[in-house]
Structure 1
Amino acid sequence: MKRKNSINRSISALAALGLLGACSTVEDAPRGEAAYAAIPPAPAIGMDYRIAPDDVLRIQVYHEPDLSLEDAQVTATGMVRMPLVGDISVAGLTSGEAADVVAGRLGQRYLVSPQVTLFVKKAVGRRVTLDGEVREPGLYPVEGRLTLLQAVALAKGPTRLAGLNQVVVVRQLDGQRQAALFDLAAIRKGKAPDPEILPGDRVIVGLSRAKAILGGALLAVPALATGFIALDGGR
């Protein structure tokens, strides 16, 4: 019976997602089970993090202290400057991938089989934006796993007149901004799950504020694609 109920809930969520194919405004962002179905699993913290502009890196080249860097800041264009080899593009790479790129550049002309380790000391890219009817809107760092309730708390909580049953979460998926709608009041009462917020997400409390902030209409996405509604132009 439990398995049957679970299947029925999944079908209901998928059906709700399918009905969104013709949606065109922010009010039509998926909500309820459809909104939760829209949130993909969070990536593992640490190893899967991808380097972003302004991050600070520690780059160690084994047995080469003069080539090692303790506080290498990634430029706005995603580059890090290394001794001998100059600028190397690292934005969008994991620590392991970036270390391999650095080792490859050093091995082309200067070292034989260089061993490089790279660690993100300050992950500026791990931030979320809190906006709308919250007491202190702004950018906030994400140190670990973060739920919607915790994210709103970072901004000192909602304002007294905030529309808690209409909280929009905007996420970048496949090159497009996408949105889902959640009921924070129900989450607070334990009547709905508390979704996970990922680095790069934007949380806007209050549907009217979300419409004013985001501007423009929402475009429909293919049925069952993600459950999020794509924002105009993917910008």
Structure 2
Amino acid sequence: MSKYVNFLLLTTIVMLFGSSAMAAQSTIDVPVSKELMAKAREKVMSQAKTNAKGANEYVVGPGDILSVQVYGEGDMSTEEPAVAKKDLMEDSPRSSVGGVTVRMDGKISLKHVGDVDAVGFTLTQLADYLKIIFATVYDDPVVTVVLAQSNSQRYTVMGKVAKPGIFFLDYPINLVQVIARCGGFDQWANSEITVVRKDAGTEPFKNNTLQFDYDDFLKGKELEKNILIKAGDIVIVH
């Protein structure tokens, strides 16, 4: 009888510890419904209206490459490292990076949940949104979204510079630095520059344009006009 009791105890212990060691969360693909995506977006955006912290945060756009991680589960990308790209006037290509590319339809493809929205969210909002989406697969997932490469935000330089073109806005850059990035003025340029910005609305812009005189800048005048460039700006060198 004692041997039988010992056998039962041993079997129970093996079942308890063995089952916990073998436990795993489901990784079956669960296509996300349009209804769930709409509800998740509405919830995240409604929270954003009451939180001013994300006002100046980067907004995801088509072409951006994102790293999406679920804690304990790893990378959720379904893609190979992105093909290197380059500025239209840059000699060296941009580095290839791993991650998931935001498509022109505004979506990204992720493991287990398929195609989900991405465009229009800040990185924080997108992480909150994906937490709701991945909750259909994992218990209380911790989602991290990192901008691996910015490809959606660009500015244009036209006119009398050595290398006009369209450039990626990878880092903060002011107007004078933009001219330097383009190789400086060409031999026909004068010192006047116009910056056109959609919906500028505030000083030093007037009617969505800013007039900048490089000669005055060198004399220490109107230094506030050496503005930081924003995505979509058009710089015209006269």
Structure 1 residues 58 and 153: CA distance shift in structure 2, 3 A: same
CA distance in 1, matches of 2:218, 2:167: 21
The amino acid of 1:149's aligned partner reads: V
2:152 alignment counterpart: 125
Post-superposition Cα deviations, 1:164-208, rounded to whole Å, max 9, x if no partner, equal: 22x11112328xx932222122123322212222232111112xx
1:170 alignment counterpart: 196
Equivalences for residues 24-103 of structure 1 within 5 A:
48-65=57-74, 67=76, 70-103=98-131
Aligned partners of 1:61 and 1:68 also within 8 Å: no
CA distance in 1, matches of 2:219, 2:151: 33
Post-superposition Cα deviations, 1:55-99, rounded to whole Å, max 9, x if no partner, equal: 111110111136356411111222111122221221121111111
Unaligned runs of 5+ in 1: 1-43, 207-235
Aligned partners of 1:72 and 1:81 also within 8 Å: yes
The number of aligned residues is: 158
Question: What is the aligned-residue identity percentage?
Answer: 30
The amino acid of 2:64's aligned partner reads: D
- Provide TM-score, normalisation by structure 2: 0.60
- Provide TM-score, normalisation by structure 1: 0.61
Q: 2:233 aligns with which of 197, 201, 207?
A: 201
CA distance in 2, matches of 1:123, 1:75: 13
Structure 1 residues 118 and 64: CA distance shift in structure 2, 3 A: same
CA distance in 2, matches of 1:116, 1:58: 10
CA distance in 2, matches of 1:77, 1:153: 35
CA distance in 2, matches of 1:114, 1:143: 30
Aligned partners of 1:125 and 1:200 also within 8 Å: no
Q: Could you tell me how far 1:162 is from its partner in structure 2?
A: 1.3
Aligned partners of 1:128 and 1:140 also within 8 Å: yes
Q: 2:162 aligns with which of 107, 110, 135?
A: 135
Indicate the SS of the match to 1:118.
strand
The amino acid of 1:60's aligned partner reads: Q
CA distance in 2, matches of 1:131, 1:197: 14
Aligned partners of 2:106 and 2:117 also within 8 Å: yes
Aligned partners of 2:113 and 2:133 also within 8 Å: yes
Unaligned runs of 5+ in 2: 1-52, 79-97, 201-206
The amino acid of 1:104's aligned partner reads: I
CA distance in 2, matches of 1:151, 1:60: 35
CA distance in 2, matches of 1:66, 1:201: 34
